[in-house]
Structure 1
Amino acid sequence: MSGETNLTQLLRTLQPALQPGTYVFCTVATLDGIDVADAVGLFREAEGITLILPQSTADRLGLPYSYRAAWLTLTVHSSLEAVGLTAAFAQALAAAQISCNVVAAYYHDHIFVPAADADRALQVLRELAAR
């Protein structure tokens, strides 16, 4: 099952869903003392390891963060080879002055937006799908 690649079909069937909770991006030099099962996402960069965690987990671990985010999932099964999907929703969110941080996983695209903009971002994505 490789997912949908047709941009028109992807946009029509975005079906954005707001995940419960607030999420933060943290950076650590090592994973010592961190249960990676608590992480929504993890990415190794030359400067350190970025963790996307529930805010409550970061608080419990005493990890600093500066960005509080809502997590939106595009429930359409998009292909990793699909062309233009990220550009389309990023442009729509940018037009509404909403920043987005995107994680493309195997089955779905996940968008982290400022927590205060969650409802507006959801509406923008629903309007994009309706066009």
Structure 2
Amino acid sequence: MAKNSIESLIENMSPEYNSGDFVFVSVQSMSGIDIDDILALFREPEGISLVLTKVKRKN
């Protein structure tokens, strides 16, 4: 029996661990967001969903 394409894709994945802390946010504008902090971006009807590296700011 032939495997379907999704099974083949999953079977051949090579996931890698990304160390660090990440946050999931939803925004209306990309203004002020550093593109180097973006790991994933999804355009959705209600806005833009992002997975970002968590930036630790010094006060």
Q: TM-score range by the shorter chain?
A: 0.5 to 0.7
Matches within 5 A, 1:76-95: none
- SS of the residue corresponding to residue 25 of structure 2 reads strand
In terms of fraction of residues, the more strand-rich structure is: 2
- Residue 32 (structure 1) aligned with residue 21 (structure 2): no
Higher-Rg structure is 2
The one-letter code of the counterpart of 1:21 is G
Structure 1: runs of 5 or more not aligned: 61-131
- Which 4+ runs in 1 deviate beyond 2 A? 13-17
Taking structure 1 as reference, are residues 14 and 34 closer, same or farther at Cα in structure 2, changes over 3 Å only? closer
Q: Which residue of 2 aligns with 1:44?
A: 43
1:48 partner amino acid: G
TM-score, structure 1 as length reference: 0.32
| Aligned-CA RMSD value | 2.4
Change in Cα spacing, 1:14 to 1:33, as seen in structure 2 (3 Å) is closer
TM-score, normalised by the number of residues in structure 2: 0.62
Number of equivalenced pairs: 51
Taking only the aligned residue pairs, the percentage that are identical comes to 37
